[in-house]
Structure 1
Amino acid sequence: MQWNIENSLVCPVTGTGFSVAASAKNLKLIIWYNGDYFLNTGSVINITQNEVLINGEPGDLQVIHAFPYTEILWSTFARYIDCPGNEDPMLLICHRRSLCKFALCPYGARQKRPE
């Protein structure tokens, strides 16, 4: 089954991600996951009998939970998950990197150097 990622958030407190995934039949889920890959908007997940492919490549994606999509639930996640990159994916410097559980920022931001 193929799932297209329509939106994503990361949670720096838990080191996990949340993504809205839509199937060809417009079934939508919010996937809460952990893994070595950040699901960007436009990413494609293919689930086969033997493997999970992310953008055509094997990926380590551990689904923690899948929620039925509702706009209210997604808006709640977006409101309360506090990561500067969720609002500005082009962020270069993050003032909160020292508090983040991600070893590397999913958005590519660096920690501000002390002056």
Structure 2
Amino acid sequence: MKWTVIETIACPSTGIAFSSIVSLKMLKMIIWYEGSVIFPPGSTIEPYRDGMALNGKYTPLTIYNMTSYNSELWQNMKNKITCPEITGNGSDYCLSPFRCALKVCPFGKKRITSEGERP
């Protein structure tokens, strides 16, 4: 079954991403996952045994849960999950003073290594 991603939020402290998705039959769900991708809005996903196909390309990831979509729950999650980079800093690099657990930045920022050097 193919799903279309409506919106995605990602938690920098846990490394878990949450995407609201909709099926062709208009069934809405929220999927909780962790991996080296963040599902962008408008993309299509298709479940596989140990991962997903994102726009037709397989990627391994861990799926923690899928729940029915609830707009109040989704809004509450969006309000509580924050990242200092959400407002943008004008740099290509993440300047957050906190360690980020995400494997990929949802804002496209690059990490600065622990030695302060840019990769």
1:71 aligns with 2:79: no
Identify if the C-alpha distance between structure 1 residues 105 and 47 changes in structure 2 by more than 3 Å, giving closer, same or farther: closer
Equivalent residue letter for 2:101: K
Q: Tell me: CA distance 1:94–1:66, structure 2 relative to 1, closer, same or farther (3 Å).
A: same
CA distance in 1, matches of 2:53, 2:103: 23
Q: How many residues align?
A: 113
Once the two structures are TM-superposed, the CA of residue 86 in structure 1 deviates from its matched residue by: 4.9
Q: Kindly provide the amino acid, as one letter, of the partner of residue 22 in structure 2.
A: A
| Cα pair 2:85 2:95 within 8 Å, conserved | no
Say if 2:35 and 2:103, in contact at 8 Å, map to a contact too. no
Query: CA separation of 1:92/1:25 partners in 2, compared to 1, >3 Å: closer, same or farther?
Result: same
**Counterpart contact for 1:91–1:108, Cα < 8 Å:** no
TM-score between the two structures when normalised by the length of structure 2? 0.78
Determine the structure 1 residue equivalent to 2:7: 7
Q: How much has 1:95 moved relative to structure 2?
A: 3.0
Q: CA RMSD in A?
A: 2.8
Of residues 3-12 and 97-106 in structure 1, the stretch that sits farther from structure 2 once superposed is 97-106
Please state how far the C-alpha of 1:111 moved relative to its aligned partner. 5.3
Residue segments in structure 1 that go unaligned for 5+ positions in a row: none
Q: Identify unmatched segments of 5+ residues in structure 2.
A: none
Question: Matched residues, percent identical?
Answer: 30
What is aligned with 1:59? 59
Deviation >4 Å, runs of 4+: 48-51, 85-88, 111-114
Equivalents in 2 of 1:85, 1:59: separation in Å?
Answer: 26
